[in-house]
Amino acid sequence: MSGRSIFTRPARFAAIAPYLWMALFFLVPFLFVLKISLSQTAIAQPPYTPVFDVAEGWEAIKSAFAALSLDNFHLLVTDDLYVLSYLRSLMVAAVSTAILLAIGYPVAYGMARLPPRWQAIAMMLVIVPFWTSFLIRIYAWINILQHDGLLNEVLLALHLVSSPVVWLSTDSAMYLGIVYSYLPFMILPLYATLSKMDPALLEAASDLGASPLAAFWRVTFPLSLPGIGAGALLCFIPIVGEFVIPDLLAGSDALMIGQTLWLEFFTNKDWPVASATAVVLLLLLLAPLLLYERLQRRQLEQA
């Protein structure tokens, strides 16, 4: 044990550089988002009036605090555009997570039942698409789903439809894209818990007279709940703020909050409203984020 205590102190010094980096480039930027969300929009470069300028001294800071404005937040809760965006994002994320779970669970379950040699290969096959570009995989679907794309060609050739079906710019295309992109994120944590399960447990259940289905519901399923939680959070949180997939695959009549934020920032050049949108999004995601952080820490530090 003495060896470990010698190693602990220098290991702590290793934290200094990454700690400072993350504080400066991850934590501090949120303060700027908060600050700008409280300032007024201006037609200028950058397009907002600064809330305060430290160089102007204490009096300026005091008067600046008096001028802090919650106008942007007021706009967010009163304008239907934003409220509907938030609601749509939460709904899309919830529905997608449910679909992902329904598809990912059987796949992960099948993987965990493979002979060990094949498990490694199957795991590799699930991870590879995660390494392949997000954007390219969405683009691949546009190829297939467009008006004269492969899907319509096949359906027409099989006489399943009489005229091309509109697939692109629909919610179905968006859900397909989301499920496709996030499937590895669901499968991997599920597989991690399912593969650690002791097969003797199921044999015991079976010996005690449980049918395979009953054994699944009363043994496998409860034991895989941590994996379900990790997979669901790993998908749900980023999907709420997703921009690329709805932008390329969904129609333009209803926006997700990531699209609204993007539009406010890049098209309307309204940085204060974009910042306020980000602050509210972060508040909505705070509880799932904290939960995810706890699960992740417990998992990595138990290893």
Sites for other proteins among residues 61-90 (CB under 8 A): none
Question: Are 55 and 91 spatial neighbours (Cβ–Cβ below 8 Å)?
Answer: no
Cα–Cα distance, 42 to 69 (Å, whole number): 14
- With contacts defined by CB under 8 A, name the span among 54-62, 66-74, 77-85, 271-279 that binds other proteins: 271-279
Q: Which of residues 87-106 bind other proteins (CB under 8 A)?
A: 103-104, 106
What is the rounded distance in angstroms from the CA atom of residue 111 to the CA atom of residue 193?
12
End-to-end Cα distance, the chain: 19
Judged by CB under 8 A, does residue 53 bind other proteins? Answer: no
Residue 262 contacts other proteins per CB under 8 A: yes
Strand-pair partners of 135? none
Contacts to other proteins from residues 110-139, by CB under 8 A: 110-111, 113-114, 120, 122, 124-137, 139
Residues 185-214 that bind other proteins (CB under 8 A): 187-188, 192, 199, 202-203, 205-206, 212
Indicate the residue among 75 and 151 with the shorter CB distance to other proteins. Answer: 151
Residue 165 has phi, psi (to 5 degrees) of -95, 140
Please choose, out of 7-15, 60-68, 70-78, 79-87, the segment that lies near other proteins by the rule CB under 8 A.
Answer: 7-15
Q: Establish whether the linkage from the previous residue to 50 is cis, with ω within 30° of 0.
A: no
- Give the span between the Cα atoms of 89 and 74, in whole angstroms: 20
Cβ of residue 134: shortest distance to other proteins, in angstroms? Answer: 5
- Using CB under 8 A as the binding rule, whether residue 52 contacts other proteins is answered as no
Which of residues 174, 233, 250, 273 is near other proteins by CB under 8 A? Answer: 233
119: which residues sit within 8 A by CB, 6+ positions away?
Answer: 111, 112, 195
Judged by CB under 8 A, the residue of 82, 167, 182, 271 near other proteins is 271
Tell me which DSSP letter residue 69 carries.
-
By CB under 8 A, the count of residues binding other proteins is 107
